[in-house]
């Protein structure tokens, strides 16, 4: 693997998202059907950014800060969802407790 000067400086080290100059493998260029939940996440992001709750740059920043394991295991819109939740908690729009309770309610509803 190529070694970069920034590899020796922790604050400049590449994140899991930073593929610039590295082999990334084949790119699937086929269109895929977007699911309902993905459309909802997209719509939520549009609403939150237009209302000025946070910016797309802040969405990207939170995604880039995901740990390597989380980043690698999440889909594109799962990363968006994690970032949206983090940004909403950072701004005090929701608390981690509120989010956890609502997620538990949804999980329970889904099992019925």
Instruction: Dump pLDDT digits (tens) for 15-37.
Output: 565 555 666 677 777 778 889 99
* pTM, entire model: 0.74
pLDDT computed for residue 16 by the predictor = 60
pLDDT in tens, 38-68: 999 999 999 999 999 999 999 998 998 888 8
Whether the pLDDT of residue 11 is over 60: the answer is: no
Three-point CA angle 71, 52, 102, nearest 5°: 55
Give every CB contact of residue 15 below 8 A, 6+ residues apart in sequence: 64, 65, 71
Distance of CA 39 to the CA centre of its chain: 15
Give every CB contact of residue 12 below 8 A, 6+ residues apart in sequence: 5, 6
User: Rounded to whole angstroms, how far apart are CA atoms 20 and 13?
Assistant: 13
What percent of the chain stands above pLDDT 90?
51
């Amino acid at each position: 693997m190529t070694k970069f000067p920034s590899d020796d400086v922790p604050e400049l080290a590449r994140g899991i998202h930073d593929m610039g100059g590295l082999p990334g493998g084949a790119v699937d260029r086929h269109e895929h059907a977007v699911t309902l939940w993905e459309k909802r996440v997209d719509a939520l992001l549009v609403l939150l950014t237009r209302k000025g709750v946070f910016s797309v740059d802040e969405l990207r920043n939170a995604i880039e800060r995901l740990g390597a394991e989380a980043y690698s295991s999440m889909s594109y819109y799962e990363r968006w969802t994690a970032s949206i939740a983090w940004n909403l908690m950072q701004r005090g729009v929701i608390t981690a407790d509120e989010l956890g309770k609502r997620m538990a309610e949804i999980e329970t509803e889904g099992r019925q």
